Structure 1
Amino acid sequence: ITFGLASDDFIDDDSDGIDDDFEESNKRDIELSIGADEIQIESHQRNGENKDEIQLKIQYNLEGISIKVSYESEFETESIETEFELEFEVEFQKLIEFIDIDGNGMYDKDSNDQFIQEVLLNSFQPVNYTTQALSLDTTLHYLIINTTDGIFTAHIYFVEEFAYVGETLLTPSQAKIDIEISNFIYSDPSSQLALYVKLNSESEYEHEIDHETDDEEDGYATDEDGIHTESKGVSGIFTWKENASVDGVVRDVLVSSLDVDDINETEQKLLFNYPRGSHIYHDPKVGIVVGPGATSILPIVFTGTIISMIGIAVVVVAVIIIKKRRIA
């Protein structure tokens, strides 16, 4: 797969499948600061006349882990001024241990499935932060957040230019979050896990069954499913791999249909259902896709791997301001 210019104009000296000029024009500068229970990240477009900024605020406390993301871009041309806004929230609230009595592989509290326990995510070790040079003038930023008991780990990556992290192509406008759970203490020998995901947005989420996700259509991903919410040409997406690594074996992940949240009828929910295992590794993503008329060349996608995770909230706020010079 190649991105950027095509045919004879395509130059890829670093053999990453991205046109070198396209990479240069999309490089970003990243600034990061770590506090007692939060991380502030700012990412600025390095080159070009149209500057934009991505801000992320990661918090880890008694409420879990939350990621707040904002995007702002200014673009000047002739004509009028236009503004796009989108806000949505994906909250990984709790991990449910259950016995699948009806044998459909999914937890349903209204069926005969047996509830065993639920576990919250609320205590953490100090954050580990390292960097790695990608080139002479770009860097990969890597954060590790562990729960105190070591069962849950979030691996968070930011890059200043296009780079592969594992098998994932990560753009400078993305954040990749690999999350794993190890050695969960099951209370029953025949139980499995479900992840309760609460969803909040001004407009309802939609799930297009058997349709390709935006990343699949663009050639960035395969074997994905997902939901999206839209407002004025900007889409908020929540997608996931249709399988996970469970004790080193690729297994299907079953996801419930969109439904009303158990507590707040104005919000929605999903349940991710994982086969039983001592080590589960899954790959959802959250992100923003800018529609026609916006300034970004690529979709703004924040990727995340979610494995048997609870108490994690992801809030994404996108503001795209297009300023156009009025004709006198």
Structure 2
Amino acid sequence: MKKTHKTLLVIFFGLVLLTSLVVNATADDDDDDIPDDFEEQNSRSVSFDIESDRIVFESISKQTDGTQDEIDFRVELSDDVKIRISYYNIAGSEESELEFEIYIDRIFEFVDDGDGVFYEVNDTIIQEYQLEDFTYPEHTELVNGVGSKVHYVNTTTGDGVFSLHLYISEEFEQIQQSTLSPTQLKIDFEIDNFPYLQSDTMLSLRVEMESEEDEYEHDEETEDEEEGFDDDEDSYTFSTNNFTGFFSWKEYAIIDGIQENVSVSTITELDGEELEYYLYFTYSNGMNIYHDPSLGIAGILKILDEPYSYLWIIIVSSIAVVVLSSFGILMSKSEYRDYIVNRVLHINKGAHTLDVEEVFNNEMRNKVLDLIIDEPGIHYNELFRKSETSASNLAWHLDILETYKIIKKARVGNYLVFYPFIDKNPFAEFNHNIVKSKTTLEIFGIIADNPGIHSSKIAHRMEIDHKTVKYHVDKLRDVDLVFLKKEGRKILLYSNIPKDDFLFDVPE
């Protein structure tokens, strides 16, 4: 290996060694991407009581810092679903309380007037489905690998059309690709086999919000999004006595197995002297609809008391800059785009249909990429602030850039950081004559899989002339990907880098 490469590797591993000084501060034994110390500081004890028409959860902070901190969730089942959240905080002689309720009472089947959202006065209502006659709630206790509990309760209307799935945890948990905080109740709505009267209709689920103050603020970025725990969320918040409650929801639902956007309309009505707030969640026509809102208290998570958080980001940024510089990524932005377009790399596009060149034909996406190239290791909140777009739009562009292996992301402590994509093999990155040649790659794959193979066997296997093999082997030797070893009269070929370390496809 060339001397400069060895020097760069020494620098790289030196920085990696430096990061080991803070590994314990971000240990994650339960593999939920949340540091254990942070979870411990915010862990809670959860108790519950269930009867035929009500479910009560009591969540109390485990911290013994002289403050009493309790969240109660009370779910009542009758001709609607009523969920009340009560928060009590007692610090010394000061006592604070916050209460908030939501009512989920009916589903409208309607013919849309073309705007994609539901308004009772504008759209043609085909039928109203009342939520009632709920089954006895069923409770299941889930325990993760470190002994933390998640309580799951579900109940269904008698005809099985509407189901309510409730989750509450003692610590942070990953539930169905969402992060559940110990300060919230996950409230999943499921509509199954709705008795449609027409085939060209949509559904809208009505939720009423009610609090003492009756003042709500629409907040497009939830606390979970700010902390990097989740994305694609929307919410309404309400504040009393310096504490804030929230009702949040995913901006999409799973409808017949497909992720679809959810439109939400907000209606205020005057009932006597009281102002009533209604949210209408609108779903496209489907046989199974699954949506996951949450109810909780914001701003009471305790910040991790350790001095390493920003050190982590400094270290990651330093490593990114050193590695990117040493492997040539800090080229001009146009050169980096040219490299991305021309490299040979297998990409699983998932639901995306763009080709690589089309990925760059979007002004906002290019702006996000420029920010990441300019500041490798940039933190999500900083990226969100500088991109000047919505959280859902930023999440969409980041997903595309990551899917097409143009950027990478990593969780560092409580932070989500982004940097340009680097192939594991530094030599293959900018030797386009190698990564563009399928023959060169195939020969490398054979050598990597068969250490000590003779060039004549490669020629026989590939049915090509031995001079052609020599030409491609010489290309590989020029960049230290393979080396020769003489044994007697034979010259054997070996790979300097395992084939598994390549992220681009090596033909079999």
Distance 2:76 2:26 in 1: 41
For the structure 1 residues 73 and 122, does the alpha-carbon distance in structure 2 shift closer, same or farther, using more than 3 Å as the test?
Answer: same
User: Aligned residue for 1:29?
Assistant: 45
Alignment of 1:85-164 (within 5 A): 85-100=97-112, 102-111=113-122, 113-135=123-145, 137-164=147-174
Q: Is the 8 A contact 1:203 1:230 kept in 2?
A: no
Structure 2 partner of 1:297? 302
2:218 counterpart residue number: 207
Q: Which has the larger radius of gyration?
A: 2
Q: Given residue 60 of structure 1, which amino acid in structure 2 is its aligned partner?
A: L
| Contact kept? 2:51, 2:137, Cα under 8 Å | no
Counterpart residue number, 1:18? 34
CA deviation vs aligned residue, 1:94-148 (integer Å, no higher than 9, x gap)? 2111111x3111223333x311111111102222112122246432211111111
Pairing 1:1-328 to 2, within 5 Å after superposition: 7-8=22-23, 9-49=25-65, 50-61=67-78, 63-76=79-92, 81-100=93-112, 102-111=113-122, 113-135=123-145, 137-201=147-211, 202-208=213-219, 211-256=220-265, 258-261=266-269, 263=271, 266-290=275-299, 296-297=301-302
Q: Structure 1 counterpart of 2:224, which letter?
A: D
Q: The residue matched to 1:189 in structure 2 has which SS?
A: coil
Shift of 1:187: 0.9
Q: Cα gap change, 1:34/1:270 in structure 2, threshold over 3 Å: closer, same or farther?
A: closer
> 2:102 is aligned with what amino acid?
V
Structure 1 window deviating more from structure 2 (22-31 vs 246-255): it is 22-31
In structure 1, give the amino acid aligned to 2:74.
K
Distance in 1, Cα, partners of 2:119 & 2:60:
44
Structure 1 pair 59–199 and aligned structure 2 pair: CA distance change class (3 A): closer
Distance change in 2, residues 1:109/1:16 (3 Å): closer
SS for the counterpart of 1:216 is: helix
TM-score by length of 2: 0.51
Cα distance in 2, alignment partners of residues 96 and 281 from structure 1: 16
Contact kept, 8 Å, 1:28 with 1:172, in 2: the verdict is yes
Secondary structure, in 3 states, of the residue corresponding to 2:218? coil
**Alignment gaps of 5+ in structure 2:** 1-20, 304-508
Distance change >3 Å, CA 149–CA 105, structure 1 → 2: same
Q: Secondary structure at the match of 1:267?
A: strand
Counterparts in 2 of 1:155 and 1:215: CA distance versus 1, 3 Å? same
> Would the aligned equivalents of 1:25 and 1:48 in 2 still touch at CA under 8 Å?
no
C-alpha spacing 1:133/1:182, structure 2 compared with 1 (3 Å):
same
Q: Which amino acid in structure 1 is aligned with residue 38 of structure 2? A: F
Q: Secondary structure at the match of 1:297?
A: coil
Question: Are the structure 2 counterparts of residues 87 and 136 from structure 1 closer, same or farther at C-alpha, using a change threshold of 3 Å?
Answer: closer
Structure 1, unmatched stretches of 5+, are: 1-5, 299-328
Return closer, same or farther for 1:204/1:172 CA change in 2, 3 Å cut-off: closer
Tell whether the 8 Å contact from 1:215 to 1:221 is kept in structure 2 after alignment.
yes
Q: Please give the alpha-carbon distance, in whole angstroms, between the structure 1 residues aligned to 2:142 and 2:249.
A: 27
Q: Larger helix proportion, structure 1 or 2?
A: 2
Q: How far 1:7 sits from its partner (Å)?
A: 4.4
132-141 or 183-192, larger mean C-alpha shift:
132-141
Q: Report deviation, 1:157.
A: 1.5
Contact 2:249 2:293 in 1 (8 A): yes
CA distance in 2, matches of 1:54, 1:15: 26
- Give the residue type in structure 2 aligned to 1:157: Y
Residues 234 and 253 of structure 1: is their aligned pair in 2 closer, same or farther, counting only changes over 3 Å? same
> Which secondary structure state, in structure 1, belongs to the residue aligned with residue 221 of structure 2?
coil
Say how many residue pairs are matched: 279
8 Å contact kept, 1:55–1:69: yes
For residue 150 of structure 1, report the CA deviation from its aligned partner. Answer: 1.0
SS in 1 for 2:275: coil
Pair 33,286 (structure 1): closer, same or farther in 2 beyond 3 Å: closer
Distance apart, 1:83 and its partner CA: 4.1
Amino acid at match of 2:40: E
Query: How far off is 1:287 after superposition?
Result: 2.0
Offset from partner CA, 1:257-298 (integer Å, 9 cap, x none): x332275652122222111111111122222213xxxx6417
* Whole-angstrom CA distance in 2 between matches of 1:220 and 1:17: 9
**Structure 2: how far apart are the matches of 1:221 and 1:85?**
27
Change (3 A) 1:253 1:136: closer
Cα RMSD (Å)? 2.4
The structure where strand makes up a greater share of residues is 1
Query: Quick one: structure 1 residues 55 and 65, their matched pair in 2 at CA, closer, same or farther if it must change by over 3 Å?
Result: same
Return closer, same or farther for 1:216/1:245 CA change in 2, 3 Å cut-off: same
